[in-house]
Amino acid sequence: MAKYEGMLNLKLIRMKRKMTQQELGNLVGVNRKAICCYETGLRYPRRDMLEKLADALGCEIKDIV
């Protein structure tokens, strides 16, 4: 499986909002492991998931990628 750089901004914004991976996952409809995979680069979210993540974090997609 190819690995990309990861979404460090996703993690930074999530942590700034004092939100756990589990809490963010619950808001967007995925489990904690999926959020972890997005942050570390094991998986890249689809466009619709990027929109959900941005909405849940109160930011724009460009801020988290």
**Domain residue limits at 49:** 8-57
Q: In this structure, is residue 62 part of a structural domain?
A: no
| 50 touches 38 (CB < 8 A) | no
Q: In this structure, is residue 3 part of a structural domain?
A: no
Residue with more model confidence, 2 or 58: 58
Output the average pLDDT for the chain: 92
Q: In this structure, is residue 64 part of a structural domain?
A: no
Number of domains in the chain: 1
Q: What is the CATH number of the domain that holds 48?
A: 1.10.260.40
State the Cα–Cα distance between residues 17 and 43, nearest whole angstrom: 22
Q: In this structure, is residue 63 part of a structural domain?
A: no
Q: In this structure, is residue 24 part of a structural domain?
A: yes
Q: In this structure, is residue 21 part of a structural domain?
A: yes
Give the global pTM. Answer: 0.89
What is the chain's Cα-based Rg? 10
The span from the first CA to the last CA of the chain, in angstroms, equals: 20
Which pLDDT tens digit goes with each residue over 33-52?
999 999 999 999 999 999 99
Average pLDDT of the segment spanning 2-25: 88
